[in-house]
Amino acid sequence: MMYLTVVLRQPVATAAESVNLWHGVSAIFPIVGGFVADSFFGRFRTIVFSSLTYLLGLILLVISVEAIPLSHRQLPFFVALYVINIGEGGHRPCIQTFAADQFDNHLPEEKAAKSSFFNWWYLGIVVGATTSILIVIYVQDNIGWGWGFAIPAVVVALALALFLSRKIAYRREVPVGSPLTKVAQVIVAAFRKRRLILDDGWSMCVEAQENGPSMIQPLARTNQFRFLDKAAIIDETDILSGKGNNWRLSTVNQVEQVKLLLRLIPIWLSCLMFAVVIAQLGTFYTKQASTLNRTIGSTSFQLPPASLQVLPGLTILTVVPLYERLLIPTARRLTGHRSGITMLQRIGFGLFFSILTMVVSALVESKRLRIATQNGLMDNARSILPMSVWWLVPQYVLMGVSDVFAIVGLQELFYDQVPDDMRSMGAAAYLSVVGVGSFMSSALISMIQAITAWRGDEWLKGDNMNRAHLDYFYWFLACLSGISLVFYVIFAKGFVYKEVQRDGEV
């Protein structure tokens, strides 16, 4: 955000749209990467290829900043960013799942270690992000953008070398074929048998048609989306053909797997506004900070505006232990649930805190505008207001609390509630919530710009934050988030969790 506005001289609203678009593509590409890994190449080869692509993009980023004149820099800069997106697309959905593949679920000690691994994984991500904000942003602001972009390139190169140094020891999964094809087969089979009437008289296909009994643990039968059950009915045509046609006959387990995915769609949709709120962290929050007094104490040191993005990470590092040690045991005693609260309840709390985040952000922005008015600085876009940057801390902290509940809850939900052979796609689906939310944020900015400009009172006015109405924008997001939470609660109440059938019992 700072590079686009300070170096490339993009207007604030344009830079925010550029950042949102890039974040959106960054979170959408994992769908492609997850599909390719699950269907064709496997996760190991996908990780290696995508890491090399990732490294290439980071190198191009350094070159675009250091070796290309400013007047011609914009296109190479964005090309480098989107090459990074392609690399992330294969890396992000595969690396966590590949790491989990190294644990053997048949050994109790490894199964327990696998559960612990996910906690360390999330902690590692937060520590890495926090370190980069503290170090990389400082280097960019005080030493140079080229050096700042070079640090991630060096780190990725070292990480790839470390990853490859143990390649002989890794367990590697075999690609299982396109999971989307299996989903399509169930839908097509149900449509072809749409005129059949479900009753107890029909025989149902409960075994794999060509390979004998399925090795996958069967899912318990559910009554949701019953029209899909027709895909598993064995009618006269199936009997006479003598050979199973996957586009006409599916197993009961395959049908239940598709139902799992359909149940997640309303949850996915109702979490998009949460992702829109997250998108403000790296855009307008940063520009707010750039207008405030960032001097620490009596020193002359100026806190970089983007460095406040470290606060959600620090909040997460503080709240997660409290969540594990205090909230879960207390909630477990009250609810009797083994996790204290369910995955959907955890996400719901995160959505609620995201609404509070926008309310507090709007109130703080209103105060910032009052101070600008009182000091006669409304038309001085580059002035530093006599207001401490620490006023922004509450909205950053609330964002971190919201992440602890919603982000971790979404990760767990989309890992646990998808079919076992679609775990990479499940990770991609969770990431796509953030991606589509970034696209929505960019679209909302464009829409509000157009409507308010037409009315003659722009909310997100050019480069002058003091003449904008960012507080109105935040109130608007709070209202949309509230409506989204209502729909989420409705969908969550009708959600049916995945259950496994063992020896006739659930």
- Within 10 A of 160 (CB to CB), how many other CB atoms are there? 17
Over the stretch 247-264, which tens digit does the pLDDT of each residue have? Answer: 888 888 889 989 999 999
Averaged pLDDT for residues 27-48 = 84
Q: pLDDT digit string (tens) for 175-229? A: 666 777 888 889 999 999 888 888 767 788 876 544 444 445 678 888 888 889 8
Instruction: Identify the residue whose tokens are 């909310």.
Output: 459
User: Tokens 């904008």 belong to which residue?
Assistant: 468
Distance, in Å, from the CA atom of 347 to the CA atom of 352, rounded to the nearest integer, reads 9
Please say if the pLDDT value at position 153 is more than 60. yes
Residue 382 host element (H or E): none
**Predicted TM-score of the model (pTM):** 0.77
How many percent of the chain have pLDDT more than 70? Answer: 92
Rg, Å, the chain Cα set: 25
**Residues in Cβ contact with 68 at an 8 Å cutoff, skipping those fewer than 6 apart:** 76
Q: Quick one: pLDDT at residue 215?
A: 47
326 DSSP 8-state letter: I
pLDDT band at 239 (very low <50, low <70, confident <90, very high): confident
Report how far Cα 268 is from the mean position of its chain's Cα atoms: 11
pLDDT on residue 209:
45
Cβ distance 364 to 469 under 8 Å? Answer: no
Q: How far is the C-alpha of 369 from the C-alpha of 379, rounded, in Å?
A: 12
Q: What is the pLDDT of residues 432-462, one digit of tens each?
A: 887 788 788 888 888 888 888 888 777 876 6
Please, what sign has the CA dihedral across residues 494, 500, 503, 505?
negative
More confident of the two residues 478 and 281: 478
pLDDT band at 104 (very low <50, low <70, confident <90, very high): confident
Q: Do 232 and 219 meet the contact criterion of CB atoms below 8 Å apart? A: no
Cβ partners under 8 Å of residue 8, min gap 6:
73, 74, 77
Q: Give me the mean pLDDT over the 388-402 stretch.
A: 92
Q: Is residue 268 predicted with pLDDT exceeding 70?
A: yes
- Tokens 């769609």: give the residue: 265
* Other Cβ atoms closer than 10 A to 89: 27
| The predicted structure's pLDDT at residue 213 | 43
Confidence at residue 5, expressed as pLDDT on a 0 to 100 scale: 86
Q: What is the pLDDT of residue 399?
A: 92
What does residue 418 show for φ and ψ, rounded to 5 degrees?
A: -105, 160
The pair of three-digit structure tokens given for residue 136, joined into one six-digit string: 């990389």
Tell me if 37 sits within 8 A of 20, measured CB to CB.
no
* SS3 (DSSP) at 260: helix
Answer for the pair 87, 103: CB distance below 8 angstroms, yes or no. Answer: no
Q: What are phi and psi of 73, to 5 degrees?
A: -85, -25
Q: How far is CA 292 from CA 277, 295, 371, 394, 442, in A?
A: 22, 9, 10, 15, 25
Using CA atoms, how far residue 438 sits from 404, 431, 452, in Å, is 19, 11, 21
Give the pLDDT confidence of 403-437 residue by residue, as tens digits: 888 988 888 888 778 887 777 777 778 778 877 88
Quickly list H helices, 389-493.
393-416, 423-455, 470-493
Indicate if the pLDDT at residue 61 is higher than 90: yes
- Tell me the three state secondary structure of residue 376: coil
Q: Which residues fall within 8 angstroms of residue 328, CB to CB, at 6 or more apart?
A: 339, 340, 341
Q: pLDDT grade, residue 22 (50/70/90)?
A: confident
Confidence band (pLDDT; 50, 70, 90) for 281? confident
Contacts of 453 (CB under 8 A, 6+ apart): none
Distance CA 230, CA 212 (A): 21
Closest C-alpha among 35, 43, 20, 161 to residue 91: 43
Instruction: Give the pLDDT band of residue 287 (cuts 50, 70, 90).
Output: confident
What residues does each domain of the chain span? Answer: 43-173, 179-256
Amino acid identity at 249:
L
What is the DSSP secondary-structure string of 161-188? HHHHTTGGG---PPP---HHHHHHHHHH
State pLDDT tens for residues 307-317.
Answer: 888 888 888 88
CB 126 within 8 A of CB 316: yes
Q: Which helix (H) or strand (E) holds 268?
A: helix 252-270
